[in-house]
Structure 1
């Protein structure tokens, strides 16, 4: 069903519901039609890579009219539209209007991150006595899979059935030694847009050689539709500990209690309350760019974080099977990027909640392992639920 038809039916249903039981039969019929509206996926061309590969943009729409646009390149979520407390739809993720923006310098807007999300110290790790060298692309360290990570490849994409709503499956094989990582890694990531306004990311990977894997999703959110910075957003993180970092944002190895520090988000509070440049505990990275150690059993789906923006009334809950969550407050956005609809992304115009294993785990024996061996299956799931508060 085309979006224009879907939107017309949605409006008709809303009108019918507002007039109550006394609605004329014609309106009752429209309401019934709206209730029968189905979630859909549409696709269209979205440009061409320098290699000549064609990029496809998919539009996922659930039965409530919530819409996610996702492209084959990088598995990038280019747009995610949800209603505010007045029913107005806004795009609540940062990005670009066209493919070219994503091909130029971009801070991983909306992408699948791999093979290893976050940082690996000095771009080195050792498995079975063999040291592997990765690209050094961030303050002397390896970040987010390297120079051409999973965010910079064109994935094989197809629609797959889902009882929850609509779903897209992204698949690729990362060849042995791609970006320096050992093993042929078969990766499947399924995005599901549920009719309960959830966005689910399900990750699976297998390898033919001992390797390391840490996948995540890197959307930048602004629940106010990029009308202001994110400092008035209220965040809760279900974590009593966080991971301190050195001046190059590599973990020191310590798991430190959040109590009595600016990292205490055990109770919901505004991002901007303790984020001032004068706060020395946040000096490295210029704000929040740390991994929190989640409290509950990482083998079970657990509440990891909540976010709420009072002006719009939009809220989101993040659930995951991962042991950690990286909260990034958009510190490196500096007004040099012009995004969708000509919006300039100034300092802290978006935040990320990246569910993952801990940074630099291959070099930190006390951290949960990110090793994957032949015969094993890497599998994690993260779910984001959007609603009005």
Structure 2
């Protein structure tokens, strides 16, 4: 075993969850095999973590579900967990009490223990195979996630997947970022290269409309203070029927007091922005004794559009057996001197 791999805990069945310590480009990261999770992330010259995380494994089985994980096989929501594909109806297994299927169903990729396919001091490649019928989805899906610290100060994810049968496929990295080590991210500024967003109903399912952000609380076309807007929406990085596969900068998040900025680049058509308004008021116990209450972090999840299998006018989110799913997202950090 490589000397940057250590035991972090055990799955309920006794399987070992490993932690891989990475360093490079002025960054240090701790990656868990459970959920392909970024458990901690540090930037040289900054004395606090840049992501929200738990110090032990147990919270990731409960209140820290999805924190820092790679969620799928279909990130975000599918209405009532139902969709039709090639003339067949499917029902996704949902968590108890959930109306919608979220992040791949009751137990998605963010709640599985991945295997290490390759590792070095600055990168790890994780692998996961989901059986045909897993959580109700068709097709055996084989997923590779290459997580890398780049010399340009970036944390990058290159995700690929193949399937034996046509299936919805969309992954998202789900870290909550806080660049200031502040109780809330309300004073951070955000800029998003999106002129449109998706309105949602009371169940957080897109209505099918694609509306301009101009004149709404969703307008971050120029940098704006985040405040407490109650954001949990998809920003349309492209409105074309087929998403562009060009990697481009799509968002910039800047802390008010730390001088740290984070630039997000991706080839995906959507960016889900969630401001953690739903965190418990009592707070969650995080890294180094921190408490994470409402608005403690900001998730910037690059992905397909939510509920895309039920909206044929949305960019395609179906992977077929003769195709390879590919997804790049990188988070580049810098600090003002």
Aligned length: 330
Q: Is the 8 A contact 1:207 1:373 kept in 2?
A: yes
2:6 maps to which residue? 44
Normalized per residue, the structure richer in strand is 2
Q: Is the 8 A contact 2:283 2:291 kept in 1?
A: yes
2:274 maps to which residue? 328
* Aligned: 1:115 with 2:73: yes
1:9 maps to which residue? none
Residues 53-132 of structure 1 aligned to structure 2 (within 5 Å)? 53-64=15-26, 66-83=27-44, 87-132=45-90
Superposed CA RMSD in Å reads 1.7
Runs of 4+ in 1 over 4 A off after TM superposition: none
Q: Is the 8 A contact 1:41 1:58 kept in 2?
A: no
Q: Using the TM superposition, give the Cα deviation of residue 135 of structure 1 relative to its aligned residue in structure 2, in angstroms.
A: 2.1
2:258 maps to which residue? 312
Q: C-alpha offsets along residues 215-246 of structure 1, whole Å, 9 cap, x if unaligned?
A: 11000000012x32000000000000000000
* Aligned: 1:259 with 2:206: no
Which structure has the larger Rg? 1
Distance, in Å, in 1 between the alignment partners of 2:213 and 2:80 is: 27
* Aligned: 1:371 with 2:297: no
Unmatched 5+ residue regions in structure 1?
Answer: 1-39, 276-286
Q: Using the TM superposition, give the Cα deviation of residue 136 of structure 1 relative to its aligned residue in structure 2, in angstroms.
A: 3.0
* Aligned: 1:292 with 2:248: no
Q: Using the TM superposition, give the Cα deviation of residue 342 of structure 1 relative to its aligned residue in structure 2, in angstroms.
A: 2.0
* Aligned: 1:346 with 2:308: no
Q: Is the 8 A contact 1:41 1:60 kept in 2?
A: no
2:334 maps to which residue? 387
Using the size of structure 1 for normalisation, the TM-score is 0.82
Q: Using the TM superposition, give the Cα deviation of residue 166 of structure 1 relative to its aligned residue in structure 2, in angstroms.
A: 2.0
Q: Is the 8 A contact 2:25 2:153 kept in 1?
A: no
Q: Is the 8 A contact 2:59 2:65 kept in 1?
A: no
Q: Is the 8 A contact 1:325 1:356 kept in 2?
A: yes
Query: Pick from 234, 239, 245: which aligns with 2:194?
Result: 239
Normalized per residue, the structure richer in helix is 1
Q: Using the TM superposition, give the Cα deviation of residue 139 of structure 1 relative to its aligned residue in structure 2, in angstroms.
A: 4.7
Q: Is the 8 A contact 1:329 1:348 kept in 2?
A: yes
